[in-house]
Amino acid sequence: MLEKKILMSSSAIKTRILFLVFLLMSGSLLTSCKEESAVGSSNKDHTTAIKAVVESLLDTIKKNNPEYPGGFSIYVTYPGGKAFATAGFANAPTELTHFRAASNTKSFTSTSIMLLYQKGKLNFNAKVTDTIPGTNKPYLPDDANYNIPFKNSITILQLMQHRAGVFDVSNEMIPDSIQANVPYKGANYLDYIMETDPTHTFTFDELTSVNSATGLYYFPPGGGYHYSNSGYVLLGKIIERVSGKGYSDFVKDEILIPMGLLSSSMPYLGSDRQLPAPFVPGYVQSVDGIKNTTISNISGNVAEGNLITTPADLAKFLRESLLGRGVISSVVMNQVILNMIPMGGATANGYGCGLQYVPNLGYGHTGAHEGYLSEMIYDPVTDITMVIYSNAWDLRDGILSISKVMNTMQEALYKTKGIVLGR
């Protein structure tokens, strides 16, 4: 089993950022806010008031870090209206401006899995070694690349809920202490490959082969909760084997086009590193200065973090999906998906199938890719949808500085919701 090490590489920092993002969403890093119960929203234009929230958010960050290289945007929809507010950008974006939504991708991957379930093509309680309905082939290939620890015990549902114990190849360092004779010991696998081949196209088979070769895992399936991008890589492979389509093609054909999310995409080639126009550039600030991270090889994050989208598309996807007006029926959404989200306890931090419940805000997900932080939230009680993002990481003090930014962003969402509700 993996022994945790404190290795402060860029990948190790990213791992801790993801962990903090989910603590934040579960409410562990914030003081409790008053429970929302009213369903009150008028057709009033709240743009001016929300603009003040975003400007205050930026002022708070700039007070402690005058050189913060990014800005903040909040997009809100509510009964009778919508609002978009921004501050801190050299070129002001709109709700139609592209950004990297990172792990918000997982909501699309889980939606894909549940869509296949809805069509009778998949059983989410099945083990990954079980055969796909109507075929004689297993959900995951029976070959050396997929000889991962505890493969015979892992279920599709456990992968969606981050309860399978799958070691996170894209975020973690490979410990020097492992017995396997692999050349990337002591390094993050993605960083190791891209150091000499920055446009390398990673594949599901290649990434999973690292899990198999190293034998690393967090715990036996069902033995706990640990956020894992690699678990969603396995889900991406399952989607391909069940549907007969590439992951990105499946999401495009079955989710993006049917839902009218025409400004969203799922790049998968190592050479496809640029954002479509218009876009907001991403920046990472460290003790060494400020680095532009807009151009990025996202092929190592397919199915778990490769989404490029806009605030308008992301808000539409989340709201329509949770209302049962997307590609998932209201019956499956309400009786299956939402029932899988734990509403209490710290074991899974409120994480279900590509969605997490945030006390007093609603259901949603977050994203963290170098230079971009984001969160999408929908509250079915008040019918309020919110998308917030920043185009910078502050790493001058490592995790401490970026956690302050994340806290302040979350507080801005609570304030924004209060404004819409007239509180």
Q: Is the pLDDT of residue 220 over 70?
A: yes
Average pLDDT over residues 328-353: 80
Q: Which helix (H) or strand (E) holds 367?
A: strand 362-369
On whether the pTM is more than 0.75, the answer is: yes
Handedness of CA 330, 332, 335, 339 (dihedral sign): negative
Tell me the pLDDT tens digit for each residue of 158-182: 999 999 999 999 999 999 999 999 9
Average pLDDT over residues 300-310: 99
What is the predicted pLDDT for the residue at 404?
Answer: 87
CB burial of 335-357 (b: ≥16 within 10 Å; e: otherwise) equals: ebbbebbbeeeeebbbbbbbbbb
Q: HSE (CB half, 13 Å, CA atoms) of 401?
A: 19
Average pLDDT over all residues of the chain: 91
Handedness of CA 194, 196, 197, 202 (dihedral sign): negative
Going from the N-terminus, what domains does the chain have, and what CATH number goes with each? 10-420 (3.40.710.10)
Query: Do the strands 283-286 and 289-292 form a parallel or antiparallel pair, or are they unpaired?
Result: antiparallel
Confidence of residue 403 (pLDDT cuts 50, 70, 90): confident
Confidence of residue 402 (pLDDT cuts 50, 70, 90): confident
Helix axes 229-243, 204-214, angle to 10 degrees: 130
- Do 103 and 25 touch, CB atoms closer than 8 A? no
- Do 78 and 384 touch, CB atoms closer than 8 A? yes
Backbone torsions φ then ψ of 132, nearest 5 degrees: -65, 135
User: Smallest Cα–Cα separation from 412: which of 364, 372, 377, 382?
Assistant: 377
More confident call, 306 vs 33: 306
- Token pair of 330 as six digits: 């209201």
CB burial of 172-195 (b: ≥16 within 10 Å; e: otherwise) equals: bbbeeebeeeeebeebbbbebbbe
Quote the strand ranges of 68-190, DSSP E. 72-78, 81-87, 99-102
Tell me the pLDDT tens digit for each residue of 44-95: 799 999 999 999 999 999 999 999 999 999 999 999 999 999 999 999 999 9
C-alpha pair distances (Å), 345 with each of 148, 229, 361, 363, 407 = 29, 22, 17, 16, 21
Residues 193 and 216: their CA atoms lie apart, in Å, by 19
Q: Which helix (H) or strand (E) holds 158?
A: helix 156-160
Tell me the pLDDT tens digit for each residue of 6-38: 234 455 555 556 555 555 555 544 444 444 544
Contacts 24+ apart (CB under 8 A), 132-135: 132/241, 132/242
- Do 318 and 107 touch, CB atoms closer than 8 A? yes
Q: HSE (CB half, 13 Å, CA atoms) of 63?
A: 9
Confidence of residue 3 (pLDDT cuts 50, 70, 90): very low
User: Smallest Cα–Cα separation from 236: which of 210, 264, 207, 204?
Assistant: 204
